[in-house]
Amino acid sequence: MTKQNVVPAEVVAAIAVASSYPLFPYPPPRARGRKKYLSRLELGGGRISAWVDSMKASSPTHDKGDVALSAAPPSVEACLDEQSAWVIRYPSALSKFEHIVSASKGKQIVMFLDYDGTLSPIVDDPDSAFMSDAMRAAVRDVARCFPTAIVSGRCLDKVINFVRLANLYYAGSHGMDIKGPEKPRRTKAKPVVFQAASEFLPMIQEAYKALLERTKSTAGVKVEDNKFCVSVHFRCVDEKSWSLLFEQVRSVLKEYPELWLTQGRKVLEIRPTINWDKGKALEFLLESLGFADCKNVMPVYIGDDRTDEDAFKVLRDRGQGFGILVSRFPKETNASYSLKEPSEVKDFLVRLVEWNRRWMKKAQRSKV
């Protein structure tokens, strides 16, 4: 990897303070109804067991049989049948690679990539979720071929420091904090700086401090400040303490009705009640790139978590492009294809770059 493709520390710092720049005009998201989204939290005690079951299901080391505690354990044959049926329904993006690229002929590919669990492995310490040099090289090469965005639940400056590549679009805090390259390659692309929930920042900081205090007695918990959201990681919390942890989080959220609770892989997410998610971020970035009403565009979104489902659904509803779910375990998804782990994501990106180079050479020879 050459040095010119790694963002220098001073550039990283400049991007991280991009909130001082004028915001790109975009219709502001409408506030979600308080009544509608309080139901996700269910402040009554009767829903605690359902949330804990859901927390178990969010772990890639648990299958559906673990959640249905009262049911008999599934047989090996049943698990194999379920896995086979799931792979048929959501085939590997590597095995279907030629079909995927053939569908892109005459279209502009735009890449959207989640970070944790997609470009980096899921690790016990979220601060140590580093991507490999080989993965960074693959992302760098993809970004040279196609407009590329990193869409993460991490705050903007954290994901920039993890990836450390220029000429990418970065969307942190589940797409609520977006920054594009200073000089977009596409002539129709607009400079991008966008924050969807700035008015919630003081409240989120208060909730973050309250969650730190309220959960400090639970061993293994890590509360992460992601600027426009707060992440409560329970990757290292004993499963017997998950009910207690959920109670602690719920007790804080009772004091902040304008914040709501969602869930990902071994993490509880506290977010503002606005109509904004990774799907909205995908649409915003396509518009910023000049592809809002373009029929000859093929967005590709690769992600592993529940929060990525919003983006997968947008692609299905648009009838353009496709989503690729990264998972070793069968689960319902709006994606069209699957990959098992970050190493397969890297292989897919490498093949995509190689295919593009061959196609470009062929196109150049045809002009001669």
User: Catalytic residue numbers?
Assistant: 114
Backbone angles phi, psi at 356, to 5 degrees: -65, -40
Cβ-defined contacts of 127-130 (< 8 Å, 24+):
129/162, 130/162
State CA 254 to chain mean position distance.
27
Identify any residues that bridge with 338 across adjacent strands, giving them in sequence order.
92, 325
For residue 197, which of 11, 26, 12, 9 has the smallest C-alpha distance?
26
Give the Å distances, CA to CA, from 259 to 170, 203, 228.
Answer: 24, 9, 11
State CA 365 to chain mean position distance.
39
Give the Å distances, CA to CA, from 185 to 43, 119, 144, 166.
Answer: 48, 23, 10, 12
Alpha-carbon gap, residue 260 to 118, rounded angstroms? 25
**DSSP SS3 for 322:** strand
Alpha-carbon gap, residue 292 to 282, rounded angstroms? 10
Identify any residues that bridge with 225 across adjacent strands, giving them in sequence order.
230
